[in-house]
Structure 1
Amino acid sequence: MRAVPLHVMVVNNLYPPLMAGGAERIVAFLAEGLVKRGHRVTVVSTCGPEMEPYPVETQNGVEVIRFFPPNLYWSFERSLKSGPKKWLWHAKDAWNREAAERLGAILEKDRPDVMHSHLIDGFSAAIWARAKQEGVPVIHTAHDYHLMCPRAFMLTADWKLCTKPRAHCRLFRHWHVRTTRHVDLFASPSRFLLEMHRKAGLQAGAGTVVHNGIPLPPDAAEIRRQRPPEAASRFLMLTRLTVEKGVETVLDAMARLPADLPVELAIAGKGVLEDKVRAAAAADPRIRYLGFLDGPAKAEALARAGHLLLPSLWYENAPVTIVEAAAYGLSLVGSDIGGIPEFVEPGRTGFLFPPGDAGALASIMARLARDPDALPMLPDASAALAQRFSLERMIDDYERHYFALTGAGLAVAAE
């Protein structure tokens, strides 16, 4: 038996080499993995107005089409905008008919079997209605809180958890959640994110959890076996250097640790708190700032460390770094918030602490640094955790949903 090849249209506001975060990596892994299984994949993404007409590309078997969804500016540049102009952009993005028509022309030409959307800022939810108009089933994967919050983080302007959204934010949420009625299946990488959307009034035909998956490093098992004892006192933070990621909580925790405790903290990333991290590293020889890491340099940092820190202050969804760290055998020390608890088994794969509690984090770090056997089941437990979030498992799950939505099922392979 073999799966019937499908034509899957994947929609995401960015696609490599244009990148903003982890969602683009997941989308690219999925698209290329589907191609390897014999499916046809067309990715529709955005570009800046000055880039048009953007030539159609083929990347590792994936057809990539980009266009600028007409608006005040390109969504990739939204972090540079503020004030009334940003709200006017959101008003247009609430239902961008022109973007839907441009995508509709692609739908009419290519006739995909299913459309799988991810981050749709720029395109707007109008593309879902257009796909339904063409008779194309829609699956949407949420990677953040874009449909519920204009800033996508569920945080206030001063980076606190938003518990009382303002009137315009409530209107934004009501409208966007209402548009999910055009979605046949709403997927989320974490149970927490899915439940947050359900509480907000999700109207999709159905909801499900599909964990993010990444290619696991082929040498990870060997690295886990060869990890030196001193790795137990090495902590690593791979993140954006921004307030909501808990960078200041980690620096505060380090300041609370005894000066003679043999502990090392490596911080990798970029962001507005970079100068603060550099200053901390200059003042404390136990702290190293590695800058932005990727590729072999990132792998080297993971192989050297013993623990990954996830001190987030916001409702994290499913950070890809969790899977990367587990594959290399690191424990996970994370805030008890958002989706993080779904990926940390206290006492087996790591520990949880109250968000923002530098004292609690310092206690956990001290315990791990002093006792190499604090997590006796870690090697096997981390390997099992990584396998739960492998790329193949993610593709299996989405492929199964595509078949269910299209009714394609399986076909007998030709002899």
Structure 2
Amino acid sequence: MTPARAPMTVVHVIHSLGAGGAESVLVELARTAREAGLRIVVVGLSDAEDDRAAHRLAEAGATVYQLHAGRYDLRAVRRVAAIARREGADVIHTHLKHADLVGGLAARLVGVPAVSTLHVIEADPQGAAHRARVRAAVAARATMFDRVVALSEAQREWYSAFRSSTPVVLVPNGVREPSPSGTGSVRRELGVDDDTVLGVTVSLMRPEKGHAVALDAVRLLPAELPFVLALAGDGPLLDEVRAEVERDPLLRDRVRVLGFRSDVDALLHAADLVVHPSHEDALPTSLISALATSTAVVATRVGGIPDIVGDDAGLLVPVGDPAALADAITALTRDPHRREACGRAGRARYDTTFAATVWVDRLRSLYAQLVTPPTESLHDGPVTSVAVVSAVAPYPSDSGKAMVIAGFLRHLRSRLPAEDIHYLHVGAPLRRTAEFEGVQVHEMGRPSRTDQLVGLVRGVLLRRQSLQEAFLGSPRVAATVQQTLVDLDPDLEIIDTVRMEQHVAGRRFRGRRVLYLDDLFSVRYTRMLEVLRDKRIDTDFDPLGQFSHNVPSRLHWLTRAPLTREALLRFERGRVARSERRAARANPTSVLLNAEEARHLRAETGAAVVAVPPSIPGLDETSHQPDRWDGRPEFAFVGLLSLAHNHDGLGWFLREGMDELLALQPDARLHVIGRDADESLLADAARHGDRVVVHGFVPDLDEALSRMCALVNPLRFGSGIKIKTLDGLARGLPVVSTPVAAEGIATQSRPGLTVVPDAVEAARALAALVDPAVRSREAQGAHALYAERYADPVVAAAYDEVFGTARED
């Protein structure tokens, strides 16, 4: 038995409760809402010529208020807010521009989420004033609303072109199944026998509904065609249409002008065709009712009509083309088997997409997503789809960050179908996508220079963001990310660091969310400052590292000049620490690679912060090259040299450790594997002649390291787990490292990993490893340490636990 859902109160605000499509939609909603656990309150702001919808809403079980306020009377805002408080509103849902303004402001006063439904497509606004009103409405929704509901793909595409920051969700209206009672009496009333095809048009008689085109089409029908068209609905053109039919004998014989009908259900069941010649329509419910009654459709290809009719529930014709409309009516009138096939296809579309219960369940899910606190998830089932939001290019995996993200993707590809893994990339378009096989890549764009300058003012000065957040901040990019996540609706979101978290901050989500923090940048900056302040250390590094491409080049000097570099690091350390704490508290789960850092952040915030081991793609027990070391004193340093900690650590070893190594092992050679070495590093390397070889990027790292005696990792600052240390351990390559480089792996020496205090001791430890017996023992220890903590099965189990991706037995 399905557990009952907690009731939810939704206050719908609409301009009036007279005759109209939006009002009819609310009546349909009220008739079905209770079954989905929704309590409907409807507020009509202004008076209408008649208030028939108010009575129908009350009969359907809705609570109805009519304010009798003037158009755009802002005093109505407080009255709507008072109603929302009194009724205990969970959500305010508005319909049409007048209600958007009043209801949106009321929602902000009450402090509840706000949803706006689009009921029209204004694809071609007439005049500058009209265009200005459309843009103003978009801007207002962006300010006041949490979601905008589009009724059709065409409507969503139209609205999305305005680049609104409010996500647009597709929720087509539905209708209850029309009652079949009275079908026979309708045909008798209209004088239509069983051998005549009855076409029915149900819509208000307004110019945009195309009644004139319908009448012209009837005039073009073959004289012998057994067809009658009934026009149901009132409106401003009713008398004009009725007079035109009366004047024309041909129309008088074939057309029945019915005016307003309370028995539309019976009309639709009696019809053989539903004809809808509208010039514009977001999502006409009369066509949805046609699907429900298994009635074939002839309609114009405009707005949301193709979403309803599709390719199989009827025929679509160009707008304003009487001849095409007449041809389609003729074709279906003469082919009863085709009409029946269209009817069956239409009924299938109704059952899966447009039934009232399907529609109301979608609305309920949308409301629940908005009402649920941002740190909670509505999804507790298995993960079947995932979206990763990152600014990193994971291929080639030439840095620790790229390796970790590539490892996430490798794990996800082992658990989910390719079409259900999505990589939302922020930045310049990725150049290499071949390695993404099994992953859908979505480009989110990159912040413009204007975005970055505005971000410095808005983010740093007003929001107290860190500089790295400000330089990657962009309302346009954030809107694209959020809209894409809404469209994908994944079970799992993986957000890559606080830089990307700002694009989704505060966004409520249905599934799991995991914030990957990489390592604590605040700790990294603290250690950079310690190195800079130590007068015994001769160093020069750029703290921007890989992030430099996100910073305007004219500002790079600020991070290189000694006076400004230290001030910027102090500033950034404080801002990043604040952002890390805020993000950890705001997200259900945050992930670090270093267990000690995870304990530290957990203690500071009380948040759910866990440590997971990094996955190094391609390094299982059988994939790496066998050990080919031939006894020579060949050593390796591996790392992207544009990263500040790698630049500093390698330079330190070359200046203070390499001479000691050569004194102990004159034939020793250090192979530097990594791109982006600057002139100062190349000069330090050149001082040792051919004893130091700078290779740059090496595509087959496995082959290169298989011939080394050991790996050296002499870092003086940094944070997190150093992937290059794991690179060595995974291959059974002994590693000599400083405490910083061993952080998160070991606090002191153990077989396979020698922890040393400085560059000179590192050189001595490397020299000792040239002894074959010592090297063999350390290689075995390296294998054992990696297998215990970082082998694929260990990492996969940790990822399954955090991501919820465990396979079901």
- Give TM class, smaller chain: 0.7 to 0.9
Q: Name 2:258's counterpart in structure 1.
A: 291
Provide, for residues 313-361 of structure 1, a one-character-per-residue CA deviation record: whole Å limited to 9, x for no partner: 22x1111100211222211111111111111133x21111111111111
Partner Cα distance (1:39, 1:344) in 2: 29
* Corresponding letter in the other structure for 2:262: G
The question of whether the paired residues in 2 share the 8 Å contact of 1:35 and 1:62 is answered with no
**Aligned with 1:333: secondary structure?**
strand
Contact 1:235 1:264 (C-alpha < 8 Å) held by counterparts: yes
2:343 pairs with 1:379: yes
| TM-score with structure 1 setting the length | 0.76
Cα deviation 1:27-86 (Å, max 9, x = unaligned): 12323433344444332222449x9xx9xx9655432222133x3xxx5xxxxxxxxxxx
The structure having more radius of gyration, on CA atoms, is: 2
Please name the residue that 2:155 is paired with. 193
- Kindly tell me: are residues 245 and 218 of structure 1, through their superposed partners in 2, closer, same or farther at Cα, counting changes over 3 Å? closer
Q: Is the 8 A contact 1:10 1:31 kept in 2?
A: no
CA RMSD between the two structures? 3.2
SS of 1:43's equivalent? strand
1:106 aligned onto 2:73: no
Once structures 1 and 2 are overlaid, which stretch shifts more, 331-340 or 22-31? Answer: 22-31
Q: Is 1:331–2:296 an aligned residue pair?
A: yes
1:140 deviation in Å?
1.5
Q: Secondary structure at the match of 1:351?
A: strand
Shift of 1:230: 4.9
3-state SS in 1 of match to 2:338: coil
Quick check: 1:306–1:329 contact (8 Å CA) kept in 2? Answer: no
Structure 1 residues 59 and 359, CA gap change in structure 2 (3 angstroms):
closer
Alignment partner, residue 63 of structure 2: 63
**In structure 1, what is the equivalent of residue 305 of structure 2?**
340
Aligned length: 356
Give me the whole-angstrom Cα distance separating, in 2, the residues matched to 1:143 and 1:65. Answer: 21
Shift in Å, 1:106: 2.5
- Take 2:88 and 2:150, find their aligned partners in 1: how far apart are those partners? 26
Q: How far did 1:116 drift? A: 1.5
User: Hey, what does 1:280 align to over in structure 2?
Assistant: 245
Measure the CA separation in 2 of the matches of 1:279 and 1:106.
47
1:105-146, Cα deviation, whole Å (9 max, x unpaired): 23344442211222352x45143133124320111112125x
* 3-state SS in 2 of match to 1:279: helix
Aligned letter for 2:233? G
The change in CA–CA distance for 1:59 and 1:352 in structure 2 (over 3 A counts) is: closer
Shift of 1:369: 2.1
Q: Which residue of 2 aligns with 1:207?
A: 168
Partner residue of 1:6?
8
3-state SS of paired residue (1:125): helix
Whether the aligned pair in 1 keeps the contact of 2:20 and 2:204 (CA below 8 Å) is no
Q: Deviations over 1:188-235 (max 9, x none)?
A: 22121222122234332x211111112103549x99xxxx99567332
| Structure-2 residue corresponding to 1:30 | 29
For normalisation by structure 2, the TM-score amounts to 0.41
Distance 1:68 1:286 in 2: 44
CA separation of 1:301 and 1:199: change in aligned 2, threshold 3 A: same
Cα pair distance change 1:34/1:328, threshold 3 Å = closer
Structure 1 distance, partners of 2:148, 2:222, is 48
Q: Could you tell me how far apart the structure 1 residues matched to 2:206 and 2:173 are?
A: 23
1:216 aligned partner: 177
Q: Give structure 2 stretches of 5+ with no counterpart.
A: 185-191, 381-809
For 2:244 and 2:255, the matched residues in 1 are separated by 10
Counterpart Cα distance in 2 of 1:8 and 1:47: 20
Name the counterpart of 1:97.
74
Cα distance in 2 for partners of 1:276, 1:63 equals 37
Q: Counterparts in 2 of 1:8-407, with a 5 A limit?
A: 8-15=10-17, 19-48=18-47, 60-69=60-69, 71=70, 93=72, 96-121=73-98, 123-145=99-121, 154=122, 163=124, 165-181=126-142, 182-204=144-166, 206-219=167-180, 230=194, 233-271=197-235, 272=237, 274-280=239-245, 283-284=249-250, 285-296=252-263, 298-314=264-280, 316-346=281-311, 348-375=312-339, 377-387=341-351, 388-407=353-372
Quick one: distance in 1 between partners of 2:93 and 2:125? 32
Q: Structure 1: which 5+ runs fail to align?
A: 76-92, 146-153, 155-161
* Percentage of identical aligned residues: 25
